Amino acid sequence: MTSPPKFPPSEDCRSRLKGAPRAVTVKHVTERPAERERRRLRAEYKRSERRAWEAQLPLTLADLRALLDHLDTELGVRGCDHTFAATEAWLAAHEHDVERVIEGLRTLGGGCDCEVLANVDPETHV
């Protein structure tokens, strides 16, 4: 059995808590238009960077994600021998133009299987 709290807040305390300004409110009031504009421009820049990066992809985003999943598994098992062995195997199995795609992956910083995994990751790129 639990006993009622010995010192429930007085009416006075409760009304003071309710009326207390919250940090969020304060932040919005003091935010200046220049800051908002800077944030908007930064977000816009990031979006356009992202679009430019995606435009360079030699695969669709869905295919790239599938390839990266495959590399993640493969490299976890046997490590990277600094070739495109696992990438090539996956591309060939999924009927991609192996040379063209690998050339594109190289351009994006993927010089071997592990570099593709590390440098051509859509989740960490932006």
Single residue of 36, 39, 82, 125 touching Zn ion by CB under 5 A: 82
Contacts 24+ apart (CB under 8 A), 105-111: 105/58, 107/56, 108/53, 108/56, 108/57
Strand, coil or helix: what is 51? helix
The answer to whether 80 contacts Zn ion (rule: CB under 5 A) is yes
The answer to whether 78 contacts Zn ion (rule: CB under 5 A) is no
The answer to whether 108 contacts Zn ion (rule: CB under 5 A) is no
Strand, coil or helix: what is 106? helix
The answer to whether 125 contacts Zn ion (rule: CB under 5 A) is no
At 39, give phi and psi (nearest 5°). Answer: -65, -40
Pick 112 or 120: Cβ nearer Zn ion: 112
Instruction: Give the shortest CB-92-to-Zn ion separation in angstroms.
Output: 19
The answer to whether 112 contacts Zn ion (rule: CB under 5 A) is yes
Could you list the residues that contact Zn ion (CB under 5 A)?
80, 82, 112, 114
